Structure 1
Amino acid sequence: MEISACVKYVGVNDHQVDLFEGQYKVPNGMSYNSYVILDDKIAVMDTVDGFFTEEWLNNVEQVLGGKMPDYLVIQHMEPDHSASIPAFLKKYPKTTVVSTAKGFQFMEQFFPEFFAEQGLPAEQRIVAANDGVLELGQHSLHFVYAPMVHWPEVMMTYEATEKILFAADGFGKFGALDVEEEWADEARRYYIGIVGKYGPQVQAVLKKAAGLDIQTICSLHGPVLKENLGFYLEKYDKWSSYQPEESGVVIAYASVYGNTRNAAEYLADVLQEKGQKTVLYDLARCDKAKAVADAFRYDRLVLAGITYNGDLFPCMRSFIEGLTERNYQNRKVAIIENGTWAPMAGKLILGMFEKSKNLTFTETTVSIKSAMNAQNKGEIGKLAEELC
């Protein structure tokens, strides 16, 4: 893939992976992106997952056309982007590596055998300074530190001549590049799941980016973004400031024998009759990452939970933890609880949100004992009014 006459794509597609980072379902695979900038000095931007080292090196070799790379710029040391560093340096041993100080620290931690055997002498290391510049000829690389987006060593790189932002994991998405799909849903699921905890740090980077004339965004995952960049920047601004994108109600339930599910479905029907966008999730069976992402997408959330062994049912507890560890806030939340002899789910759910900011809980909490009755239906109707 050609980004421009001088900037080439040399990444790979992964259709072997079923769970990204061991937990996120990726039915359309993943892309591990890497780029080459051809100029008086040649820079390779990041590497790829170790399972695809040979394919990536072949891509790089083809683009180089017999030339030697001068720099290997490492923006992020997570193994899906850094695992091929040793193989690259064995093939191109005179290359100078550019990274942050912590990036070099992590490099030595990940590749102790390589550094013990071959090493990387000081003259082949450039510690990129925040706002530092590396001149390639007609192109110049401006380094922007992005700590905790979403690892502490991360930096992004702005190429000033062609106005390209090499955004590390920023603006990435699930899915290989040889599969066509909409950007937003898989980018949201990727961002909320992986980066969502670090909203303030993303906001800091967005403020820096606002001062740059960006015409192309090259992420380490997902497509190269060239058109309608305002759309992507707006999404990242909303996601990282924890603001809802849309008006709608997510109903997430945990049910053993179907009684709590019946209540959740009844509420969904009432809300839909009132013209409310409603999304229903069975937490025992759904893709939890998608449920978490939609809880951030919409402005209202209903948790329908059961008391189980004096606690919350495990999938409900796990779902709420998925929200709170990502700083869930700025939403309205409602609770439906169920318990045959000692309902505690409502109290436990409230306790899990004790440290959460800017959540508004409905006045109505529906408490079911075993199965929904006529009184409960009336309470659910009242709850639906509050949610509207």
Structure 2
Amino acid sequence: MEQLFTEKIHDNLYYIGVNDRITTLFERMWPLPDGVAYNSYLLTGEKSICMDLVKDFTVKDFLSKVDEVLEGKPLDYLVINHVEPDHSSGIDEVLSRYPDLHIVCNKKTVPMLKNYYNIEDNLIVVGDGESLKLGDHEFTFYMTPMVHWPESMVCYEPATKTLFSQDIFGGFGTLNGAIFDDQVKFNDYYHSETTRYFINIVGKYATQALRALKKVGELDIETICPVHGVVWRSNPRFIIDLYTALAEQKTVPGVVIIFGSMYGNTQRMAEAVAKGVAEGGITDIRIHDIANTPQSYLLADTWKYRGVILGSCSYNNNIFPPMSFLMEELHHQKMKNNIWGFFGSYSWSGGAMKRFKAFSDELKLDTLSLQPEIQGAATKEEIEQLKELGRQMARRILEGDEA
């Protein structure tokens, strides 16, 4: 068979995924500057088996790839490891083409298929650790609940040592001609987009992710086929270790400063804090204007850096609304291993520092004691106080490295 649009992974396994260069926000929240891939896989042999589907508006390209591989033969089985619509919404068109298709899923997927697509028939329900033979292929299924939906599972083929991992080990970004880890410069673009994907999509379920990673880490794996990002055939241990480090939130010795400013005064305060951090000996410093930086990147940097400093103006006796939204998301993340700093500003009545204190107290954060609250524009003495906040953060981080 001449392969025009599909990619052979190994004997009887083909990549039939598609690129989405149209969607700009994943889940209508997370920026996709370089799109995203929806990966699907097709196994051939005595029976033809599809591993996960694609988003509805990409299903035409997907079906053309199925046709290329099957060459007129029927599609017998569909394994749904994760029913989120970016991996299942093409199912109506697939079923119209293959009405006798049997769907392999777990018991938590069953009501979701009913609720989303009114599908109740031709279901084969599998449990945790259960093996199932489909033609000349045999698979073992492992439940990975809340990574990142309750019905999530992975599928392992022992004969080829292949793991079909659904969203686990995925990443943002399209696949640009190459699909394998050894065909791309992963440590460049793909590394940052995989990291951001984990933090945005899976991060709040880090505890469950660690349990799932331990489960799949005990398998003898030579190939990992996720539903987003590259296929791992050369060094699958790399992505397992990367996801484990992210789930454990292993921070780096740097500082991210995120500020909210209406007229520039709080921004100048953030610059003073950053100068103090640099004077304290930290070389990896990021500053973000919360009004101009998408939440996706803010969450990624707070997860990454040991030091997190938030600064905000007050707004209607409260905190600057974009900062309030960020704090709500940070609350969901259940972050650990960070050192936190706070500073605030106000014109006639406070609000920002009260919110920062309540946030810190509720989450029992490791917080620096110096928390400047400044009225109007900072004076020379207050600028020095802000710089000292930065120096304190630097000392805490460097002392931790030396311990």
Instruction: Please tell me the TM-score bracket, short chain as reference.
Output: over 0.9
Matching residue of 1:177: 175
Matching residue of 1:8: 14
Distance 2:168 2:214 in 1: 14
Distance 2:379 2:235 in 1: 51
Letter of the structure 1 residue corresponding to residue 22 of structure 2 = Q
Distance 1:302 1:317 in 2: 14
Shift of 1:137: 5.1
Matching residue of 1:295: 302
Matching residue of 2:144: 146
1:242 alignment partner, SS class: coil
Letter of the structure 1 residue corresponding to residue 380 of structure 2 = A
Distance 1:31 1:79 in 2: 14
Letter of the structure 2 residue corresponding to residue 315 of structure 1 = P
Matching residue of 1:42: 48
Letter of the structure 2 residue corresponding to residue 168 of structure 1 = Q
Shift of 1:147: 1.0
Q: Does 1:365 align with 2:371?
A: yes
Instruction: Specify every segment of 5 or more residues in structure 1 that has no aligned partner in the other structure, as ranges.
Output: none
2:9 alignment partner, SS class: coil
Q: Does 1:280 align with 2:326?
A: no
Shift of 1:70: 2.2
Matching residue of 1:128: 126
- Matching residue within 294, 314, 322 for 1:315: 322
Superimposed CA distance per residue, residues 33-74 of structure 1 (whole angstroms, 9 cap, x where no aligned partner): 100112222210011100011111111111112222221101
Distance 1:248 1:370 in 2: 29
Superimposed CA distance per residue, residues 220-242 of structure 1 (whole angstroms, 9 cap, x where no aligned partner): 11111223333322221222233
- Matching residue within 238, 261, 264 for 1:255: 261
1:333 alignment partner, SS class: strand
Matching residue of 2:249: 242
Distance 1:183 1:233 in 2: 15
Q: Does 1:215 align with 2:222?
A: yes
Distance 1:251 1:324 in 2: 17
Instruction: Specify every segment of 5 or more residues in structure 2 that has no aligned partner in the other structure, as ranges.
Output: 1-6, 178-183, 395-403
Distance 1:366 1:319 in 2: 20
2:372 alignment partner, SS class: strand
Aligned length: 378
Backbone CA RMSD of aligned residues: 1.6
Q: Does 1:91 align with 2:91?
A: no
Letter of the structure 1 residue corresponding to residue 189 of structure 2 = E
Matching residue of 2:76: 70
Is the Cα–Cα contact under 8 Å of residues 103 and 124 in structure 2 kept in the other structure?
A: yes
Shift of 1:77: 0.9
Distance 2:259 2:10 in 1: 49
Letter of the structure 2 residue corresponding to residue 205 of structure 1 = A
With normalisation by structure 1, the TM-score equals 0.93
Identity %: 34
Matching residue of 2:3: none
Distance 1:368 1:227, change over 3 A: farther
Bigger shift: 143-152 or 337-346? 337-346
